[in-house]
Amino acid sequence: MIGTDDVIGWVVNTIKQTGVVDQVLETESVGAAAPGTFAAVIHPQAMIPSPKTSGLATTSMVITVGAQLTIQTPVTPLTPTDRRLTRGVDKLLELLNANIEGSDDPLGFTDLYGIEGTALSAVFGWIPGPDGVMYRSAEITIPVIVTNAYSQSQ
């Protein structure tokens, strides 16, 4: 059985595999990344039972993880789009389209289409930095269905 820590670890490793992010942080603070870096901040969002993938003997869970990809460089509305962000999101979404553990009988998988309510998605925007300037950002919502998370016979 895998749990939230395993899913977060898988997301962190997957982000590192993109090769475009300078830092991957498991923190709630946007300002934790060094200025000028392309950082990913990982945070758990939700855990809910998965009725569509649960059975009579086990309960599956949807563990949703957020990943905020931010380029720690001040921007204005006239700043050209930094293609590092769009390329990073493209590569991450491609890599997340996989089973956890890469097995034929997966322990979990990304809910690409939202069969349990939330689909894999990316929303681009700006976030205020700790110094009051705006940073270009993308919030990635990563719902992972963990099959057979809990036994119902205990």
pLDDT in tens, 43-60: 899 999 988 888 888 888
pLDDT value for 33: 65
pLDDT in tens, 91-135: 999 998 876 665 555 578 888 899 888 999 999 988 887 777 778
Looking up tokens 């392309």 gives: 38
Angle at 67 between CA 115 and CA 2, to 5 degrees: 60
Domain architecture of the chain: domains with CATH: 4-151 (3.30.2000.30)
Q: How far apart are CA 154 and CA 151, in angstroms?
A: 6
User: Please, are residues 43 and 24 in contact by the beta-carbon 8 Å criterion?
Assistant: no
Helix (H, G, I), strand (E, B) or coil at 53: coil
